Amino acid sequence: MNVIRVDSATDERLAGYSLIGDERALARRGWFVAEGRYVVERLIAGRRHELVSLLVNDAALAALAPHLGAVTAPIYVCAPRLFEPLTGHHFHRGCLALAVRPAPAPPLLLARGARSLVVLDRVGNPDNVGSIFRSALALGADGLWLGPGCADPFGRKAIRTSMAAALAMPFATLGGGAACTQHLVELRDAGFELLALSPREPGVELGELSSAGVPVRFALLLGAEGEGLAPELEALATRRLRIAMRPGVDSLNVGVAAGIALHTLRAR
């Protein structure tokens, strides 16, 4: 382990951590940040992402020690009082890591070996994106496609809400406009049934699906809070699904709806 003790928030070796409040600046450098012992532990254990460095207090260093044997990146250790002036945030966990963003995955290459995908359209809330990644990982989806207007899965809040699922689930981003539509057409042509989750009628209630009604390969399409799927994307769907709700309630949070739909499809 390359453990380095630091005693100043202005130490130039820690400069990257001053950017964690500016995710665009981090992305321009090709980095993302992970926070908290559980997420950082999953980041290290997954070995999918190159570590730039870790910044921890002594308690976090001790907790992570069993997982640090193969880490070659610098591990900076400082007093808890230095975290807030350095990062601009009050971190109670005293555990941060910077890592390298992976190269974007080609959407159709990601789909090639998949049986089930989740496709997001303009889901701009990072908490919702993180929640959907968490459900997708837990409920057996093979990957995610993110259309334009979606929150960055490598944003700090999305990673935290996903409980590190965003670091484990394969995903691809889609181009805007005609490019997004074309990718879905190609996915359909590759044998995927496109299932649009929408409260609009007509639609098949999820609870009424039989095991014979679930396609061998499918993509679950989910749209933005309030607006739902873009009409041109919903028009590509081979089937529209909806979740039965009590009268007077017109919708669910998209993260909750994704979990219900994936669980139902998996159970069938």
- What pTM was computed for the model? 0.92
Mind listing the pLDDT tens digit for each residue in 228-249? 899 999 999 988 998 888 888 8
Which of 113, 125, 139, 110 is CA-nearest to residue 258? Answer: 139
CATH topology (fold) of 3-100: 60s Ribosomal Protein L30; Chain: A; (3.30.1330)
pLDDT at 209 over 80: no
What is the CATH architecture of 107-267?
3-Layer(aba) Sandwich (3.40)
Residue type, 248: G
Which of 57, 47, 169 is CA-nearest to residue 105? Answer: 169
Region of 164 please: left (phi>0), alpha (psi -120 to 50) or beta. Answer: left
H-type alpha helices, 31-125? 37-46, 58-64, 83-87, 107-112
Q: What is the pLDDT of residue 62?
A: 96
Q: What percent of the chain has pLDDT over 90?
A: 72
Q: What percent of the chain has pLDDT over 70?
A: 96
Q: What is the pLDDT of residue 97?
A: 96
Confidence grade of residue 201 (pLDDT, cut at 50, 70, 90):
low
CA angle 75/103/66 to nearest 5° reads 30
Question: Structural domain boundaries of the chain?
Answer: 3-100, 107-267
| Highest-confidence segment of 47-56, 83-92, 194-203, 212-221 | 47-56
Percent helix, percent strand, percent coil in the chain, to nearest 5: 40, 20, 40
User: Is residue 236 a contact partner of residue 121, using CB atoms and an 8 Å limit?
Assistant: no
